[in-house]
Amino acid sequence: MTVKELQKEFGNNEKIKKDLDLLLSQSNRCSEILKRLSLNPHIEDEFIDSNVSLDEYVKEIVRSFEEISKKKFIVNVDEFKNKIKTYKSTEVVYGLRNFIGNASKFSNNKIEIFLTSDNKETEIIIRDDGPGFPKDLIDKHKLGEPYIRSASSAGIAKYGLGLGTFIGKTLLEKNYANITFRNSNKEKGAEVLIKWRNKDLLNV
């Protein structure tokens, strides 16, 4: 049974009406994301027409957000020692854009992005100074799954059902990345860790 059919059948039930409305909006968002990826993947990111390293990916994505946001973006590449050039990847761009965009959306003022690499691994940490991930979702390891539910109804209204995060995580994992979600001990906001083995990154 589709969401629209559920709305017709149960739309007058106030207990589930908000959940159905949210499910429909998130499903529509998911469809739009997939449509953009399949029909016109280069619409926002001209730079992916050339081979680039991950710091170039990140800096270009951050620049696009700085044009529309007054929040402070900090990109730290001090420990980014091994710049591996990769072939253009719309999937990697979307995955990174999703997590950087979420950090911008939920931050109070500041988004920090750290890139580190050595001879074996390359890692990106995206950290914001917002409220962090809901504790029950962190404890149950539910982040990155579609249609998540938090104990807080206000949390669901704010965070949605996790479809964007699910798609971003799936696309990066398809490109050999390992994703970890946690809350920062420093800023108390959310942190997303994206890690590649260098030998896998060469195949992206």
Domain boundaries, the chain: 1-40, 50-201
For the residues 9-36, what does the mean pLDDT come to?
A: 57
- Taking residues 19-47, what's their average pLDDT? 53
Distance of alpha carbon 142 from alpha carbon 159, whole angstroms:
13
Convert the pLDDT of each residue in 134-186 to its tens digit: 887 776 566 766 655 555 544 444 555 467 788 889 899 999 999 999 999 87
Predicted local distance difference test score (pLDDT) of residue 1: 44
Q: Comparing C-alpha atoms, which of 156, 164, 131 is closest to residue 148?
A: 156
Least confident of 1-15, 70-84, 186-200: 1-15
Q: Mind listing the pLDDT tens digit for each residue in 174-189?
A: 999 999 999 998 778 9
Q: Which of 27-31, 65-69, 176-180, 197-201 has the lowest mean pLDDT?
A: 27-31
In the chain, the percentage of residues whose pLDDT exceeds 90 is 38
CATH of 50-201, one of 3.40.50.720, 3.30.360.10, 3.30.565.10, 3.10.580.10: 3.30.565.10
Looking at per-residue pLDDT, the higher value among 196 and 161 belongs to 196
Give the neighbor-by-neighbor strand order of the sheet with 121-128.
72-80, 110-117, 121-128, 190-197, 178-183
The answer on pLDDT for 73 being more than 90 is: yes
> Tokens 């017709």 appear where?
8
Q: Distance between CA atoms of 110 and 98, rounded to whole angstroms?
A: 17
In this predicted structure, what is the pLDDT of residue 52? 82
Look at residue 134 in the predicted model and tell me its pLDDT.
Answer: 81
**Nearest-5° Cα angle at 147, 170 to 109:** 75
